[in-house]
Amino acid sequence: MKKRAFLIHGWDGNPQEGWRPWLKNELVKRDFEVFVPAMPDAASPTMEKWVPYLANIVKKPDSLCYFVGHSLGCITILRYLETLSQGEEVGGAVLVAGFGHDLEYDGYKEELSSFFKTPVDWEKIKSHCKKFVAIHSDNDPWVPVKHNRLFVEKLQAKSVIEHNMGHFSGSDNINELPIALESTLELCNDN
């Protein structure tokens, strides 16, 4: 069976933005089947729309499934993992500029709060996925580095702190992200 990778964009993102097209091409070259869905209503996302949408794309999760999320895509992946049945396990997840609780910056109006109506069940997530890499930038204006520490503490994620990468967005001119590719391949090689 082929390895499958699911690249999940963030709030107001799309499959063609930033480094996702590059990463998709790199993974296809390495014989992955790659899915880069346009998440529903990306400008006004809700957990009630995004998590079932991802589940429908994945269909049957297995140890050859790998996830790479950006920003809101990361909590979407984590919330999806919470929905899996006992015994279902995926290969790993790379979390780029992800966050594990509601954001706290001036002007933020809790637009993404639907993802945090209930506490994150870190233990349930770990029962379905054993390997995580958390990638953050030291100058991200939206998701501070403290979220990296949260993923290390709660998920035993491997920590990667990049320098001066902003929010890893196309608007930050990040059109290739080699660390995301390296991290995905590292998760696969550990299996």
CATH number, domain at 61? 3.40.50.1820
Residue 103: the pLDDT is 80
State pLDDT tens for residues 33-50: 999 999 999 999 999 999
Residue 190: the pLDDT is 62
Round the average pLDDT of the chain to a whole number and report it. 94
State pLDDT tens for residues 59-72: 999 999 999 999 99
Residue span of the structural domain in which 142 resides: 4-189
State pLDDT tens for residues 79-117: 999 999 999 999 999 999 999 988 876 666 677 889 999
pLDDT bracket for residue 154 (50, 70, 90): very high
Residue 32: the pLDDT is 97
**Which residues are 140's β-sheet partners?**
none
pLDDT bracket for residue 141 (50, 70, 90): very high
Whole-number Å distance between alpha carbons of 175 and 180: 12
**Under DSSP, is residue 15 helix (H, G, I), strand (E, B) or coil?**
coil
Residue 12: the pLDDT is 92
Can you list the positions of beta strands (E) in the chain? 4-8, 33-35, 65-70, 92-96, 132-137, 158-162
Task: Write down the pTM of the prediction.
Answer: 0.96
The number of domains in the chain is: 1
